[in-house]
Amino acid sequence: MADDRPILMFDSGVGGLSVLAPTRALLPAASYVYVADNGGFPYGTKSEAEIAARVPALLGRLVERHRPRLVTIACNTASTIVLAAVRAALDLPVVGTVPAIKPAAEQSVTRAFGVLGTDATVRQPYVDDLSARFAADCLVLRHGSARLVELAEAKLRGDRTYVDDYRAVLSGLLDQPGGERIDTVVLACTHFPLVAEELAAAAPRPLRFVDGGPGIARRIAHLTQGQCWPKAPSGEAVFTAPIETSDALRSALASHSLDRLSIL
C-alpha cells in the first residue's frame, strides 16, 4: 500500500543537503521536503533564546502543512538547543543532529581532534558531555566559525570562494595550544561537509574530516524500516522567505531530486 508522507528535513540554509544525500542513498523510494529557514539564517550567531523561540513554532507549521512521517533537524545548532522541546511537541519521530565526536575519537590516532562548528554549537554543554563520554582520553579543541557557513552557502549559489578563507578558518582551530597534534576534525555543522574538499586543500597537513550525515541517515532508515513508500517519490525545497535562486543553486537542489521550489 502506497504511503505518500514525506520525510521532512529542516536546516537554517543549504547545509542539511549533506544529510539529505546519504539519506536518499539509503531510502531512494522516499519523498522528501527539504526546508531552508533562510528567513532566520544564520542560526550560529543567534542566541539560544532566539532559536528556542523560532524553531519549534516553525516546525509545528511545517508539520501541519506537509504531514511528514518523520522530521529531521539537519542542523547541529538547532538540535543542541531545541531537540527535546520539538520531540515533546510533535507526535511523530524527530531525528536530531549531533557532533560526530564518538567516531572522531574512534578514528584519531594522535588522540587529539578538533570540533569545527558554529559559535552556538561549540559552546553547548552537549559537546562537553559527548567529549566526556566518548573522548575522555583525547585532547578536544573547538572553534566556532560563522564564516564557513557563509562560504558553504556561497559555493552552492555558484559564487567563487578562496583558499585563504578556508585556511583562516582552520587556523582558528589548528593554531590553538595542542593544535599541532590534531589529525581529525569533526565538521559539527551540516554546512561544513559541503566544503570538505576546500578545507582539505587549505589544510597545512593531511587531516581526516568526519561528520554525522551517514549516521543520521542510518537512524532515519531504522525508524522507517518496514514502512510503505509513495508510488511516485517527489522532492520539494521550501524556503521560509523570498529568495533569488541562482542557476547554480537550482542545479544543486535538482541534484538532490528537489525539483519543486516553494515559499512557506
- Which residue of the set 78, 189, 194, 238 is catalytic? 189
Tell me the whole-structure pTM to 2 decimals: 0.93
Helical segments of the chain, H only: 17-26, 48-66, 76-89, 101-107, 119-122, 125-134, 146-157, 163-174, 196-202, 213-223, 247-255
Residue 75 annotated as catalytic = yes
Q: What is the pLDDT along the chain (264 residues), one digit of tens a residue?
A: 899 999 999 999 999 999 999 999 999 999 999 999 999 999 988 999 999 999 999 999 999 999 999 999 999 999 989 999 999 999 999 999 989 999 999 999 999 999 999 998 898 898 999 999 999 999 999 999 999 999 999 999 999 999 999 999 999 999 999 999 999 999 999 999 999 999 999 999 999 999 999 999 999 999 999 999 999 999 999 999 999 889 999 999 999 999 999 999
> What is the C-alpha end-to-end distance of the chain, expressed in Å?
30
- Which residue of the set 19, 71, 74, 75 is catalytic? 75
Distance CA 33, CA 24 (A): 12
Residue 189 annotated as catalytic = yes
Domains and CATH numbers, the chain: 7-97+214-263 (3.40.50.1860), 102-211 (3.40.50.1860)
